[in-house]
Structure 1
Amino acid sequence: MLDTIQFLNVEFFWLLLLLPIAVIWYVLKHHQQTAELKISSIKGFKNTSSFWSKFKHVLFALRLIALALLITALARPRTVDVSTKTKTTSGIDIVMAIDVSASMLAKDLRPNRLDALKEVAADFIDGRPNDRIGLVEYAGEAYTKTPITSDKSIVQRSLRDIKYNTIIESGTAIGMGLATSVNRLKDSRAKSKVIILLTDGVNNSGFIDPKIASELAVEYGIKVYTIGLGTNGMALSPVGINSNGSFRYGRMQVEIDETLLKEISAETGGEYFRATNNDKLAEIYNEINKLEKTEIEEKKYYNYDEKYRPLVLLAGLLLLIELILRNTIFRSFV
């Protein structure tokens, strides 16, 4: 309650400095008005103390409290109730095209490229509460994992389910992955349409040329951010399958068609990024998050409730009590 109270005229609180001055004045005045009688001995007098003589100080206390209440009332205390209405004025539809070929199991990122990507992508999705997001998987072919949706729980669940499998044809079909993503966005009515395409290899499969797919993206007003994933040089990558079904690893040269990825991003108005480790991958998604801002209109409504009236009434009541006491029980000329 107290943390919601505001004072419109706080400068009136300086008047509270008058209260200790009034107390000092009252003490000095009281001593001056006290009669003195000098005698040699008080043994013959009974030592009694008058309750009413001490209670008379309550009159001054009532006046001080009333004055403090009036000063607080002048400061205009009030409570503020703030209600906020948020409206997304221009949402963004985003499709994340993820390479799920066997090379994404390389261990140059921790614990491997695919799991590192899923962790960073999950944070990215959580950071876009006002946008619709879809997922596309591709290797030697491509398919839609999740259509664009505003239900982030569905997207997150689908992202967690992404893994390497032998059902999809092996290879890296960048053109197929990009074309499938374009197909998911071409009918979108969002003001901004974005594809984040990630790969760790070169286009070596699929029947759609990546350049044709990028031309389709331009035609439908879709911006493409491309990410090349993998360290520079050699990486511990899958080179075969053991008899028990597990992968056999060996050191392989990392090959990413950066020229193609740069051309796709430049032609569509996006940017190309290279992620060589976990931290760099996280920085890239943070950068894309900053580049693609969703415009949000926020309206705040303020409801003020003035609180000075009860203070004035209480101060008036205390002054009335003081006036009654002073003119009845404590009747005097002071």
Structure 2
Amino acid sequence: MFENIQFANPQFFWLLLGLPVAALWYFFKRKEQTAALRMPSLKGFPKNDWLPRLKPVLFAFRLIALACIITAMARPQIREVSTRTKTTRGIDIVMAIDVSSSMLARDLRPNRLAALKEVASKFIEERPNDRIGLVAYAGESYTKTPITSDKGIVLNALSEITYGQLADGTAIGMGLATAVNRLKDSKATSKVIILLTDGVNNSGFIEPETASNLAVEFGIKTYTIGLGTNGNALSPIAYNADGTFRYGMREVEIDEALLQKIAEVTGGQYFRATNNQKLEAIYDEINKLEKTEIEEFRYYNYEEKFRPWILLAGVLLLSEWLFRTTVFKSFV
């Protein structure tokens, strides 16, 4: 009942401090308010001992009525708040993901690709107001999902990304160019590419420098991530007879100079992820750097609740007057 009640003028509640004082005054002065008549005997008068003792009820009615009036003066209200949000700065993001065989290396748990998909899923879920698309690349590249606001579609497409869908290799320029092509016609205020790789550019017919210049031309910021531990990592080195990979230790080679240059030219940043925790921290950092501005409008509706208190005070005062002029008339 009182969950959403608030008071517009709560300072009037200080007046309630006067009510205990009035009650004490009445307690000590009540006998002086009734004239005393001394008689040698009460024989012949009807006995009615209980009615005079109820006389203080009249004063209680007055005190409660005053309390109700003070509460009404404090203006109890029910406030209802409705909100409406407006995205004032939307961001379109394309995630370009390396799916070459080296992404199956086990220096991240359980492997690089699986770790990336887990972290990227969390990133996507935390961008409810942005449009996101996916590009996969290895020896060549393709658009897995065009930019869309439907996060369910993006998350499902991300879960379907596996090794073997493309010829092996690392075509960084192709992956970046495909991502630029997805964003070049976007009308969003901010356009961002997150390019992840664990190797060096060794495939494709578009040079990474050419692709980064295209990103600059279309005003697309690129964050680059080098994925892989320092030193050697347990990586696929050959095929077994049954078609599965044979694993062995291989030196981790990431063209960090190239990734740093791409990020610098396009206005982004370069990050190095050597384990699961650092990869997650990098996506958290990008999430903080690229914030969508949301404007929130709040509408307040106030429903006044002082009238019932005034009505109750009126009923109490009227009742006090009626009892005083009828039932208690002989004692007042």
Structure 2 counterpart of 1:109? 108
**Which residue identity is paired with 1:324?**
L
Residues 83-131 of structure 1 show CA distances to partners (whole Å, capped at 9, x for unaligned) of 1111112211100001111111111112111111111111111111111
For the 8 Å contact 2:232–2:249, the answer to whether it is kept is yes
Query: Secondary structure in 2 aligned to 1:83?
Result: strand
TM-score normalised to structure 2 length = 0.93
How far apart are residue 287 of structure 1 and its match? 1.0
Superposition deviation, residue 49 in structure 1: 7.8
Partner residue of 1:61? 60
Per the alignment, residue 322 of structure 1 pairs with 320
In structure 2, stretches of 5+ residues that fail to align are: 41-46
The answer to whether structure 1 residue 235 and structure 2 residue 233 are counterparts is: yes
| 1:199-241 CA-partner distances (Å, limit 9, x unpaired) | 1111111111000000000111111000111111121212222
2:273 pairs, out of 272, 275, 283, with 275
How far apart, CA to CA, are the structure 2 residues paired with 1:277 and 1:232?
10
Equivalent-residue separation in structure 2 for 1:5 and 1:244 (angstroms): 72
The residue that corresponds to 1:259 in the other structure is 257
CA shift at 1:333, angstroms? 7.1
CA spacing shift, 1:107–1:50, aligned 2, 3 Å: farther
Tell me how far apart the structure 1 counterparts of residues 150 and 128 of structure 2 sit (CA, whole Å). Answer: 9
2:70, 2:330 → 1: CA distance? 28
Map of 1:17 onto structure 2: 17
- Aligned 1:33-44 pairs, distance under 5 A: none
Structure 1 residue 276, shift from structure 2 partner = 1.2
Offset of residue 132 of structure 1:
0.5
- Equivalent-residue separation in structure 1 for 2:314 and 2:119 (angstroms): 65
Partner of 2:43: none
Are residues 1:74 and 2:73 paired?
yes
Distance verdict in 2 for CA 1:124–1:49, change over 3 Å: farther
Shift of 1:332: 5.4
User: Corresponding residue for 1:44?
Assistant: none
The correspondence of residues 190-205 of structure 1 with structure 2, limited to 5 A, is 190-205=188-203
Number of the residue aligned with 1:42: none
Listed as ranges, the matches of 1:1-334 within 5 Å are 1-30=1-30, 50-165=49-164, 167-331=165-329, 334=332
Count of residues in Structure 1 that have an aligned counterpart in Structure 2: 325
RMSD: 2.0
Which amino acid in structure 2 is aligned with residue 110 of structure 1?
R
Rounded Cα–Cα distance in structure 2 between residues aligned with 1:223 and 1:164? 27
- Residues 251 and 51 (structure 1 numbering): CA distance in 2 closer, same or farther, change over 3 Å? farther
Contact 2:75-2:304 at 8 Å conserved across structures = yes
Task: Please give the alpha-carbon distance, in whole angstroms, between the structure 2 residues aligned to 1:289 and 1:126.
Answer: 11
Question: What runs of 5+ residues in structure 1 fail to find an aligned partner?
Answer: 40-47
Shift of residue 36, structure 1, vs aligned partner: 11
State whether residues 52 and 331 of structure 2, in contact with CA within 8 Å, keep that contact through their aligned partners in structure 1: no
Question: Which whole-Å CA distance do the structure 1 matches of 2:186 and 2:250 have between them?
Answer: 41
CA drift at 1:79: 1.1
Secondary structure of the residue aligned to 1:286 is helix
What is the deviation of 1:23?
2.2
Secondary structure at the aligned position of 1:87 is classed as strand
- Aligned-pair distance for 1:30? 3.2
After TM superposition, give the deviation of residue 277 of structure 1 in Å: 1.3
Q: Which secondary structure state, in structure 2, belongs to the residue aligned with residue 255 of structure 1?
A: coil
In structure 2, distance between residues paired with 1:248 and 1:271: 35
Once the two structures are superposed, residues 119-173 of structure 1 have per-residue CA deviations (whole angstroms, 9 ceiling, x without a partner) of 11111111111111000000111000000001110001111111112x3110111
Q: What fraction of aligned residue pairs are identical, expressed as a percent?
A: 69
In 1, Cα distance between the equivalents of 2:10 and 2:27? 29
What is the alpha-carbon distance in structure 2 between the residues aligned to residue 114 and residue 300 of structure 1?
A: 43
Aligned equivalents of 2:262 and 2:53: distance in 1? 92
SS of equivalent residue, structure 1 residue 130: coil
Moved over 3 A (4+): 30-37, 48-51
| Aligned amino acid, residue 295 of structure 1 | E
CA deviation after TM superposition for structure 1 residue 52, in Å: 2.1
Aligned mates of 2:270, 2:31 — CA distance in 1: 87
